[in-house]
Structure 1
């Protein structure tokens, strides 16, 4: 296990009353916060003495923060004067940290309070709107923040693309004073999860009951990401996809890293442009990646080398940065994972009359595939390798036709899927995202058409038991969940990431967590 980092875990609390604020502080402490940021501007109170009571009742260290642009106490009267009055009181009462916005920090009255403080640490902050600024503008802003004499500086930024965060990581690594940096939105999530690696002062999380885009919960920071053990030597792995919020990869790979004693972290990475992602994040410690929808085919062109199976499929779901030379090497663990899951399900039910133990139960079967993207290509080539006859349906017929040509199969118009029933005992495989959370009531094929299928496989694994699988089981088919494929492909990926996967441990986690 890696040594502990000094990073602090914090959550922001915005409550209307003092009672709610105290209750939320207790909850944050219970969920793993080291300190809390109290947004005093969100509160409604009759007198400033209420703030004093709040500070004295704190059950854990606090950052006292008042935003000038707020909707609480500061919506009337002299906003700046009230702000300085509250912050000054916090300094007099030795609040652990007091956050002062850059435009307030130079005010004469505020400077007087700061100079007279005894124990409080001063955080000077700035919110950068409109995306990440240029390097020059960023450097200038940091210099302005530092010039205030702050103990700690803080930057909040908007993020348009995940690649924008490279500048944030550079700042964290090179700043001369402790820095808090938080990039907002789903694409900014890794700015917090990698904060300890790049030397940030604290990590923000949210309470379980208050989900915030771009923030992990306090509980997941502690229990899933083990944030206190992330340090400069931690190897970074993650899922490159869009969307990425549904991914269960972090709750599998991160505990597996810890179980194996490997200093790594696995992150959800919402990526819009995969080529640009690899161009920007060429760091040696960005060591390996899972590749999800819609990037599996484009990922082939991002690799310096591609494994023959992945090359023939034309889709990569795993990329490793080879330590010896930094080259990106692409693999496909989806194909074997899905095909062996179906084969084992057929063998277990003893529905296949095998000529020999070396013959696949898929041999000679009509394999009906829905979807011609990266996952579909993996399934098509896997089925072909086992001797199945492949028929492909896809909303874009030309894609289905191109894939069918690659596997000597047949492509048919998507609208014919419901009526397609040339024989009994077929295999159906869904390789689309239809039925994935949150659209769990959707299915790629009506239940009335499922009677002809001996086995139905769904690559969707959130939820574990999709509507397609529920209706297929009711129709008498053997069903194979995408969870089983997920387990097998993840074990294959982990082997590539570290050299050896703790298979029993990983399977146990998936079956408990999904």
Structure 2
């Protein structure tokens, strides 16, 4: 089924080949992979012969082309005579280029020089690049007016994000500008400007042909923009969700949630938010457009204090991994799906093994001794979740004082981590590792000896890289029921999805995606 198109924003691919052969090859790849237009960055071509090479490129194009001959003083690669550079741009127009990009600093004189020669189908983009910061909203407005006054057909502004909140000012410029405009923010913190540009009415957005072929910092690849973010389907009413964290570039959340949104026909996009200060981020992105967030390291605890209301379990844990903006009043509601994700996985494993039947009124964890290794965020999530289900909780941690503090909160007990091998008060216990022990590349590590695992009926490991940790392998060899960390990851993501959408998560699809990328 063809993807629904909800915007007129063009997807442009800058071609940065250093030879004519590379440029022509890249142009063909851009066509094959679905670009709407290309930017011919001829300042990157070595030994460029304007009269011959420009004619070749323009005749070979199979889609609209922007001709850009960017000087070094505006962030480009051209270092030659300025008069000759502008002559090449005039030549490009004479040869029928669809767009000519000229810098604001020289735009007025350039446009006057072509006033009687401009072709009807050629448009002039007047651009300004700021590689240091993003100006204030007032200054951006003045900049747009200044560019417009040169006689530009299209306004282009590219700024740099020192913080992700800078991008919000660009979104406002896009949304309220009355002339064709492309406004983007460079750097990883500015990535969302490129992804959400179509939603806010941008004329054009840029993506790279492939990783390593970027013409500016923070460009996503063409494949990702089309296949993961599906930017052609963005409209004014599209809801924005995303992952708040630092770092976030490694996350598979966009792949997971965007595919799931598409599966149920939910008009939304999920993007990475590289956030330094979550309180300031939520304050700036306070419009209903930004409808919900996943929260990861290092912001889970700070997120709790940013919410207007917090689910009791999340409040007990002291950490929020999901925030939903209530549409009726705009208030932020905080949840923690880590707890439900892990506990439900362990419960279902127990039900399946022992055929307990209907546990509507109680949990298979009730009365069980539930030993948790680790007292960090995940440890807290499991501790409070297990306590809520009626388990007797024991905390083992390298820092014994942290273990005791958490044990007091859940009315349990604490033991030092080095005593774990000798802690065998009964058989049939449940063990949950929430530390990073055993995570790639330290795959030989385990928090407990294989011999000591004979006292446990169920062993859960929050680590899922690798999927089958040494702890789980040892536990399985002793006959214990094992639950891998992927179950927690899948279930917490499903919980987030249902909070975001109010719809049942497409479990089969989400499992397939997670298993594919792990």
TM over 0.5: yes
Following TM superposition, by how much is the alpha carbon of 1:465 offset from its aligned partner in structure 2, in angstroms? 5.1
From the superposition, tell whether residues 193 and 327 of structure 1 become closer, same or farther in structure 2 (CA, over 3 Å): same
The Cα of 1:462 is off from its aligned counterpart by 5.6
CA distance in 2 between counterparts of 1:144 and 1:314 reads 50
Alpha-carbon distance between aligned partners in 2 of 1:58 and 1:446, rounded to the nearest angstrom = 58
Give, in whole Å, the separation in 2 of the partners of 1:344 and 1:211.
47
The residue correspondences of 1:146-157 to structure 2 (distance < 5 A) are 146-157=148-159
Could you tell me whether the CA contact under 8 Å between 2:448 and 2:471 is conserved in 1? no
The answer to whether the 8 A contact 1:300-1:314 is kept is yes
Q: Distance in 1 between matches of 2:183 and 2:466?
A: 34
Matched, 1:81 2:46: no
Report deviation, 1:505.
4.4
Q: 8 Å contact 2:380–2:406 — kept in the other structure?
A: yes
Name the counterpart of 1:219: 223
The SS at the match of 2:411 is coil
Q: 1:463 to 1:422 in 2, by over 3 A?
A: closer
Partner-residue secondary structure (3-state), 2:493:
helix
Within 5 Å, give how 1:106-117 maps onto structure 2: 106-108=108-110, 111-113=112-114, 115-117=116-118
Equivalent of 1:254, from 235, 254, 258? 258
* Equivalent residue for 2:247, pick from 243, 264, 282: 243
Q: How far off its partner does 1:53 sit?
A: 0.9
Match of 1:176 among 164, 175, 178: 178
1:488 aligns with 2:487: no
Check the 8 A contact 2:400/2:416 in 1, yes or no: yes
Cα distance per residue 1:340-379 (max 9 Å; x no partner):
1123334445599999994425742341322412x32211
Return the offset for 1:467: 6.8
Cα deviation, residue 41, structure 1: 0.7
Corresponding residue SS for 2:132 = coil
Residues 508 and 448 of structure 1, relative CA distance in 2, 3 Å threshold: closer
- One of 274, 277, 291 as aligned partner of 1:273: 277
Q: 1:17 to 1:473 in 2, by over 3 A?
A: farther
After the TM superposition, which of the residue ranges 392-401 and 254-263 deviates more from structure 2? 392-401
**Structure 1 match to 2:302:** 298
Cα gap change, 1:196 to 1:512, in 2 (>3 Å):
same
Is contact 1:74-1:82 (8 Å) kept? no
Q: What is aligned with 2:327?
A: 323
Query: Paired residues, what number?
Result: 505
Contact 2:243 2:272 in 1 (8 A): yes
Distance 1:46 1:133, change over 3 A: closer
Which residue of 135, 138, 141 maps to 2:137? 135
CA distance change for structure 1 residues 507 and 421 in 2, over 3 Å: closer, same or farther? farther
- Structure 2 residue matching 1:330: 3-state secondary structure: strand
The CA RMSD measured in Å over matched residues stands at 3.1
**One of 284, 288, 292 as aligned partner of 1:288:** 292
Q: What is the correspondence of 1:401-412 to structure 2 with a 5 Å cutoff? A: 401-412=404-415
Q: Does 1:449 align with 2:452?
A: no
Structure 1 gap segments, 5+ residues each: none
The answer on whether the counterparts of 2:313 and 2:336 sit within 8 Å (CA) in structure 1 is yes
Alpha-carbon distance in structure 2 between the residues aligned to 1:195 and 1:505: 32
SS state at 2:293 partner:
strand
Unaligned runs of 5+ in 2: none
Contact 1:313 1:381 in 2 (8 A): yes
TM-score between both structures, scaled by the size of structure 2: 0.87
Asked if the contact 2:443–2:466 (Cα under 8 Å) also holds between the matched residues in 1, the reply is no
Secondary structure of the residue that 1:197 maps to in structure 2?
coil
- Asked if the contact 1:63/1:95 (under 8 Å) is kept, the reply is yes
Give the distance between the partners of 1:136 and 1:284, measured in 2 at CA.
23
Which string of whole-angstrom CA distances, capped at 9 and with x for unpartnered residues, describes residues 461-508 of structure 1? 466556765676678765433322222122222222222124344435
User: Equivalences for 1:159-174 in 2 at 5 Å?
Assistant: 159-174=161-176
The answer for the alignment partner of 1:54 in structure 2 is 57
Normalised TM-score (structure 1): 0.88
